[in-house]
A and B are shown apart, each in its own frame.
Chain A
Amino acid sequence: MAESERQYNHPRDDHNPRPRLRERQREAIACALFITPAVIGFLIFTLVPLGISGYLSFTNFNLANTPALVGLANYREMFTDDLWWKSVQVTLVYALSVVPLWIITSLALALIMNQNLPAIRLYRTVFYLPAVLSGVAISMLWVWLLNYQTGLVNQLLKMIGIKGPNWLGDYNWALRSIIIMSVWSVGWYLPIWLSGLQAIPTELFEAVTVDGGNWWTRLRHVTLPLLSPVILYNLVVNIIWATQLFTEPLMMTNGGPRFATQTYMLYTYRNAFQYNKMGLASAMAWVLFVAVLALTFLAFKSSSMWVYYEGERKRG
Chain B
Amino acid sequence: MKSHRMTRRTFLMWSAATAGAGALAACAGAPPPPAQQPAEAPQEQPTAASAPAEPAATGASIEYFSYDLGPANESREQIADKFTELNPDIQVKNTFLPYGDTWNKLAALMAAGTPPDVIYADFSVVNHALEGNLLDLKPYFDADADLAVTDAFTVDLLDPVMAKYGTQQLYNLLIGTWVPILYFNMDLFDTAGEPYPTENWTFDDLRATAAKLTTADGEQWGIQWGTTLDQTGWTWWLQKPADFWAVPQAFPAKTTWDSPEGLKVMEIYKSMGLDDKSAVPFDLMGGFQQFGAAFGAGKSAMVLGGDWDAGWGYRDLPFKWGMTFIPMINEGYRPNLNTTQSGNVIAAGTKNKDAAWQYARFMAADETAQGYIGAAAYETPVFKKVAQSDAVMKPDWAAPGYETRVKAAMLPGPSLCPYPLSTNLWEFSDKYLDPTVVQVTTGEMTPQEAVALLDKEGTPHYQQLKDAMPEPQS
Contact = CB atoms under 8 A, between A and B. Distances in A.
A55 interface: yes
* Binding site secondary structure of chain A: loop
A143 B289 CA distance: 8
Interface string A118-134: 00000000000000000
A97 B435 CA distance: 27
A67 interface: yes
A65 B33 contact: yes
Contacts of B104: 273
A64 B32 contact: no
Contacts of B20: 51
Nearest to B1: A9
A51 B29 CA distance: 13
A19 to B, nearest CB: 16
A65 B36 CA distance: 9
Contacts of B23: 47-48, 50-52, 54-55
Interface stretch (B124-132, B174-182, B370-378): B124-132
Interface string B427-443: 10011000100100000
A61 B24 CA distance: 16
Interface string A149-164: 1110000000000000
A33 interface: no
A82 B285 CA distance: 25
A170 to B, nearest CB: 7
B332 interface: no
B340 interface: no
Given A63-B33, A63-B107, A64-B127, A168 B286 contact: yes
Given A43-B22, A140-B289, A258-B438, A65 B131 contact: yes
Contacts of B435: 258
Interface in A270-287: 270, 273-276
A148 interface: yes
A63 B27 contact: no
Contacts of A43: 22
A253 B22 contact: no
Interface string B267-306: 0000000000000011111110100000000000000000
B26 interface: yes
Those 9 A-B pairs whose CB atoms lie nearest each other, nearest first:
A51-B23, A169-B283, A64-B131, A63-B107, A275-B427, A64-B127, A147-B287, A65-B131, A64-B128
Interface of B: 1, 4, 19-20, 22-24, 26-27, 30-35, 100, 103-104, 107, 110-111, 127-128, 130-131, 133, 218-219, 281-287, 289, 424, 426-427, 430-431, 435, 438
Given A56-B32, A63-B111, A64-B133, 14 more contacts: A5-B4, A43-B22, A48-B26, A63-B110, A64-B33, A143-B289, A148-B284, A168-B286, A169-B283, A169-B287, A257-B282, A258-B435, A258-B438, A270-B427
